[in-house]
Amino acid sequence: MRRLLCVALLGAVFGCKEQPISPFKVIVHVDSDPGFPLANQPIMFNDTEIKKTDVKGDAVIETRRPDGEVVTLTIKCPPDSAPPEPVRVTVRRTEGQALTKFDRACRPLMRSIAVVVRADNGPNLPVMYLNNEVARTDASGAAHYAVRLRVNEPFTITLNTKGDDKLRPPNPSVPLIVGESDEVKLINIKFEREKPKVINVPVRPRSNIPRQVP
């Protein structure tokens, strides 16, 4: 008993060396679109950059915060991208546990749209966008046009038939809207040529009365 008391007193006098807290690690992965990782994207904590993603879009984040504490991380995306939800990490150390991975995306606000036109019976027709001719159908009625617009932006493509007033429907317009990814918009229009009107002229019946010879 006396020996234990001496050990306790020595600890109180000289102090006990605290064991260092082991780091808690997680992986934050950032891409633009699925399969397209973003490198050199800053990972922020309290408005301070603590790490950047590598060429694979990954950043290993370490913290020595105590278990149970929640650490909030934000991703600083490129200017033309929408920021994702913050990463909220609950510190929970477990022996031999694999690193938890958090996936986030900096989705581009601008998207590339390829418009492909197939106009049956519509050769050599101007393809109009914002009242400007941007393409023209070939002999088979095919044409294509590429445009870059903001996500969810509506736009309209029109086929100008003013050069051939026999085509029906006249000047067809197709409203479109930009999705959340690069895509191909297919426009199929079937034209019919207006048939010439046939005017039926009534024929007078021939008289059966014999003509009198003077």
Concatenate the DSSP letters of all residues of 6-18 into one string.
Answer: HHHHHHHHH--PP
- Helices and strands, counts by H and E, the chain: 1, 18
Q: How far apart are CA 107 and CA 91, in angstroms?
A: 28
- 129: Cα within 13 Å, side-chain hemisphere: 16
Comparing 1-5, 22-26, 98-102, which segment has the lowest mean pLDDT? Answer: 1-5
- Mean pLDDT of the residues in the chain: 89
At 208 the pLDDT is 62
At 52 the pLDDT is 98
Length of the chain: 214
pLDDT in tens, 27-39: 999 999 999 999 9
> What is 110-193's CATH superfamily?
Outer membrane usher protein FimD, plug domain (2.60.40.2610)
Which fold, 20-108?
Immunoglobulin-like (2.60.40)
pTM above 0.85, yes or no: no
At 201 the pLDDT is 67
Integer-rounded Cα Rg, in Å, for the chain is 37
AA letter at 113: I
Asked whether the beta carbons of 75 and 94 are under 8 A apart, the reply is no
20-108 against 110-193: fold identical: yes
Distance of CA 76 to the CA centre of its chain: 19
At 134 the pLDDT is 98
At 96 the pLDDT is 82
Q: Please name the residue ranges forming H helices in the chain.
A: 2-14
- For the segment 123-133, the average pLDDT, to the nearest whole number, is 98
At 159 the pLDDT is 98
Asked whether the beta carbons of 122 and 136 are under 8 A apart, the reply is no
- For the segment 107-127, the average pLDDT, to the nearest whole number, is 98
pLDDT in tens, 4-22: 444 443 344 344 556 678 8
Of 104 and 3, the one with more pLDDT: 104
Helix, strand, or coil (residue 214): coil
Domain ranges of the chain: 20-108, 110-193
Of 17 and 62, the one with more pLDDT: 62
